[in-house]
């Protein structure tokens, strides 16, 4: 069971975890041991609240298919258990980031003093450059 908050949890049957062989170089055991993990999570058929489902489906993440199946591949560690925990933590982080409500941005304007300083600085810089011109004899 994966606990997301006090009210929201995911049951074990909702998360499908399969062992696979890790990619890349790895020495003698790489072709023998299946220590990497594929985690599959079907968003539309899960017990998540509708708000969570909508926010997850709205994400533009390449790991989420058109049908709403999220696939996370974890192969950072040498053991299956560590990769499994890593995949579950990444699933939890993804869901919590998706439902986090962003604070609305209030547009701000520069102050009068900062505008004046900017224009004064441009004027001084222009005068400096004007003095670099050709000198008439």
| pTM: predicted TM-score of the whole model, two decimal places | 0.71
Arithmetic mean of pLDDT, 50-71? 90
Rounded to whole angstroms, how far apart are CA atoms 15 and 66?
18
- Scan for tokens 């709205």, then name that residue: 58
Contact 87, 36 (CB under 8 A): no
- Which two structure tokens, joined as six digits, stand for 70? 């999220």
Of the pLDDT bands very low, low, confident and very high (cuts 50, 70, 90), residue 8 is confident
Helix (H) or strand (E) holding 16, with range, is: strand 15-20
Residue 72 CB: number of other CB atoms within 10 A? 19
In the chain, % helix, strand, coil (3-state, to 5) comes to 35, 20, 45
Stated length of the chain = 137
- Tell me which of 3.40.50.300, 3.30.160.20, 3.20.20.140, 3.90.550.10 is the CATH number of domain 2-99: 3.30.160.20
pLDDT at 76 exceeding the cut of 70? yes
Q: Which residue has the higher pLDDT, 69 or 134?
A: 69
Query: pLDDT digit string (tens) for 82-137?
Result: 999 999 999 999 999 988 888 999 999 999 999 999 999 999 999 999 989 888 87
Q: Which residue has the higher pLDDT, 61 or 31?
A: 61
Map out the domains of the chain as residue ranges. Answer: 2-99
């Amino acid at each position: 069971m994966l606990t997301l908050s006090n009210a929201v949890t995911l049951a074990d049957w909702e998360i499908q975890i399969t062992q696979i062989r890790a990619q890349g170089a790895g020495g003698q055991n790489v072709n023998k041991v299946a220590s990497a993990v594929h985690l599959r999570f079907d968003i539309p058929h899960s017990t998540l609240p509708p708000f969570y489902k909508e926010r997850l489906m709205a994400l533009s993440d390449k790991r989420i298919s058109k049908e709403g199946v999220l696939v996370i591949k974890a192969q950072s560690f040498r053991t299956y258990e560590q990769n499994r925990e890593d995949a579950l933590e990444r699933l939890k982080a993804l869901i919590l980031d998706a439902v986090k409500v962003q604070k609305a941005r209030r547009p701000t304007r520069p102050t009068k003093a900062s505008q004046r300083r900017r224009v004064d600085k441009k004027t001084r810089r222009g005068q400096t450059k004007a003095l670099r011109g050709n000198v008439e004899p």
